[in-house]
Structure 1
Amino acid sequence: MLTEDNNGLDRLSLENKHRKEKKELQAQIQALKKAAKNDKTKKKELTAEIARLETEQDIRHKHEIENFRSGQSISSDISEQIEENNEKDISKNKISKAQKRRDKKIQQEREREEQIKQQEKENLHGPRNTEIQAITAKLKKRNLKIFPIPSDGDCLYKAVAHQLTIKKQCSISVDELRRKVSTYISNNKDDFLPFMSNPETCEMLTNEELNEYCDKILNTKTWGGQLEIRALSSSLKCPISVIQATGPDSIEQGTEFGDDPLIIAYHRHMYSLGEHYNSTCVDDDSDVEDRSN
């Protein structure tokens, strides 16, 4: 039998209340993001505001749970005091730039996880599955299968890191791969600038804009694409083969290095959040089928 606190709030009601408040907060956050979409200054302020709102809610929920367990209800006065004290603590703490970047990465991961959960509920017979079937068929010819990589902004780098581990017995972190890409593009600007343009002006990037681009590669979870694959291949001195559903069986980078390529899969429709990369691995089931035939 469920116990109740002084307000008659049983455990299930409290959990439902917290879930509802979390959903309401996420809706509030989405509205704030939409309002600050094209304002860089507001975006920076918004990151701190979101962290504050989530921290306050977490603290309040923890206190409500603790008071529920002890048979006490938390008064609105105490709740307001907690929020007030928390705001004072946040304003007093001087957060380093590195910590701000880490906090931002954590927040981005939370948002993407929520979006992924929603995406998984969508129609399983749409473009996503059609694409996966096409890529799976192409990989099967190579006795390979998809090795899933989380969709968190690091998918390209994690896919390449996985390939290096299984093919080269070489362990390289995502941060190190991002550093290699950022450094290579920065040191070879003339090779990359003709293929890079400002999305607003459609003009070729200036040196300053390219430096900002490289800084984002290094310090954020900005998504990697064809240019980053080229930089990865060149900095690692290793060919990379990209399998996709449509077009040629694969897109090759770094063939001049003449080595066994790292093989990754490119998905346009894996998630509604945007494009995605997976790694690949040997399909042991395929070996069994071949032997049985």
Structure 2
Amino acid sequence: MEEIETEEEKLFKKHRKEKKELQAKIQAMKNAVAKNDKKRRKQLVEKVAKFEAELELRHEEELKQLTRSLDKPSTVESSTNEITNLELEIENEKTIEQSRISKAQKRREKKAAQDKEREERIAEAEIENLKGARHLENQKLAEILAKRQLQIKQIPSDGHCMYKAIEDQLKKQNSLLTLAELRIQAAEYMRSHVDDFLPFLSNSNTGDMYTPEEFEKYCDEVANTAAWGGQLELRALSHVLKMPVEVIQADSAPVTIGEEYGSKPVILVYMRHAYGLGEHYNSVEQLTDLPAEDIC
């Protein structure tokens, strides 16, 4: 029998949706602000904190209203000749419902505490990063790229960043390949050249080289999921595209994959400290004139 969704479950679902929508809005705001714009980044952190606080207060008030409505005693009309079995059944149902609400309230409070702690860590990290490793990395990369009349073109951090950066670069060469096609072609090339890739893949738990089954699963994830791409996938794509891929880094010389191809290279920027989750790839574009106050 299909379980009926309670008002409390409906409210939880609504709150989760609103939190996801707010996080998406915050991510879009972050992507719209240049990493080296200290003033706007500080304003952004304040806005994010305000939005999150307002949403949390509204959710708490909605939960209180729901709890009050659930706590109102129900009126049961019965004749004086009825036996007390019905009353006992109602009491049992009330006890079960109160127990359910109590457990849900504990889960809710625990989840709210975890969310609040996580949001505080994110806000602290954003402020720290204005003077931390990410900021220093951005400065170094800006200097390296400026010497080549280039600048970073931001790519969303969604697991597809490497493929989207290559897709962006290919558009400048009038290629219509999409990130989905790049993923599929990279996986197909790896499957057809197992000996070139399998030795570099190992099970993180055992340290043993991938089995054929594990390798096939890896290739399937390359083709069909948002799995993060790295050097192996770059090597596969350089052969697929028959062009070199140059990767610019802050702390070491650029690395070129597929040097045997003499065509114009695809240029990516590799960033170790771009996001809290770790590594990230961006594309590049021609350097535009910046106001004097924005130049490091």
3-state SS of paired residue (1:285): coil
Deviation at 1:24, TM superposition (A): 11
Specify the code of the residue in structure 2 equivalent to 1:154: H
Distance in 1 (CA, whole Å) between partners of 2:216 and 2:241 is 21
Q: Cα 1:276–1:19, aligned 2, differ >3 Å: closer, same or farther?
A: same
Deviation at 1:199, TM superposition (A): 0.9
Distance in 2 (CA, whole Å) between partners of 1:244 and 1:237 is 23
Q: Does the aligned pair in 1 maintain the 2:160–2:227 contact within 8 Å?
A: yes
3-state SS of paired residue (1:227): helix
Distance in 2 (CA, whole Å) between partners of 1:227 and 1:116 is 33
Specify the code of the residue in structure 2 equivalent to 1:222: A
3-state SS of paired residue (1:257): coil
Distance in 2 (CA, whole Å) between partners of 1:225 and 1:253 is 12
- Determine the structure 2 residue equivalent to 1:175: 180
Distance in 1 (CA, whole Å) between partners of 2:121 and 2:197 is 32
- Determine the structure 2 residue equivalent to 1:141: 147
Residues 171-214 of structure 1: per-residue CA shift (max 9 Å, x gap): 21111010011111111000011111111111111111100000
- Determine the structure 2 residue equivalent to 1:210: 215
Deviation at 1:123, TM superposition (A): 3.2
Equivalent of 2:231 in 220, 226, 230: 226
Q: Cα 1:171–1:76, aligned 2, differ >3 Å: closer, same or farther?
A: farther
**Aligned residues: CA RMSD:** 3.4
Equivalent of 1:283 in 287, 292, 296: 287
Distance in 2 (CA, whole Å) between partners of 1:19 and 1:193 is 43
Equivalent of 1:258 in 258, 262, 272: 262
Of all paired residues, the percent bearing the same amino acid is 47
Distance in 2 (CA, whole Å) between partners of 1:207 and 1:126 is 42
Q: Does the aligned pair in 2 maintain the 1:135–1:245 contact within 8 Å?
A: yes
Q: Cα 1:177–1:24, aligned 2, differ >3 Å: closer, same or farther?
A: closer
Q: Does the aligned pair in 2 maintain the 1:182–1:217 contact within 8 Å?
A: yes
Equivalent of 2:272 in 258, 268, 274: 268
Q: Does the aligned pair in 2 maintain the 1:116–1:271 contact within 8 Å?
A: no
3-state SS of paired residue (1:235): helix
Deviation at 1:255, TM superposition (A): 1.1
Distance in 1 (CA, whole Å) between partners of 2:206 and 2:131 is 38
The answer to whether 1:238 aligns with 2:251 is: no
Alignment gaps of 5+ in structure 1:
1-16, 27-60, 65-74, 78-113
Distance in 2 (CA, whole Å) between partners of 1:203 and 1:161 is 34
User: What TM-score do you get using the length of structure 1 for normalisation?
Assistant: 0.58
Residues 21-61 of structure 1: per-residue CA shift (max 9 Å, x gap): 449988xxxxxxxxxxxxxxxxxxxxxxxxxxxxxxxxxx9
Q: Does the aligned pair in 2 maintain the 1:115–1:273 contact within 8 Å?
A: no
Q: Cα 1:129–1:228, aligned 2, differ >3 Å: closer, same or farther?
A: same
Q: Cα 1:20–1:176, aligned 2, differ >3 Å: closer, same or farther?
A: closer
Specify the code of the residue in structure 1 equivalent to 2:244: P
Aligned pairs, number? 190
- Determine the structure 2 residue equivalent to 1:162: 168
Q: Cα 1:170–1:23, aligned 2, differ >3 Å: closer, same or farther?
A: closer
Alignment gaps of 5+ in structure 2:
1-10, 21-58, 63-68, 72-118
3-state SS of paired residue (1:284): coil
User: What TM-score do you get using the length of structure 2 for normalisation?
Assistant: 0.57
Q: Cα 1:181–1:115, aligned 2, differ >3 Å: closer, same or farther?
A: farther
Distance in 2 (CA, whole Å) between partners of 1:285 and 1:194 is 46
The structure number with the bigger radius of gyration is 2
3-state SS of paired residue (1:270): strand
Q: Cα 1:25–1:151, aligned 2, differ >3 Å: closer, same or farther?
A: closer
Q: Does the aligned pair in 2 maintain the 1:153–1:223 contact within 8 Å?
A: yes
- Determine the structure 2 residue equivalent to 1:97: none
Q: Cα 1:116–1:219, aligned 2, differ >3 Å: closer, same or farther?
A: farther
Specify the code of the residue in structure 2 equivalent to 1:178: R
Deviation at 1:277, TM superposition (A): 0.1
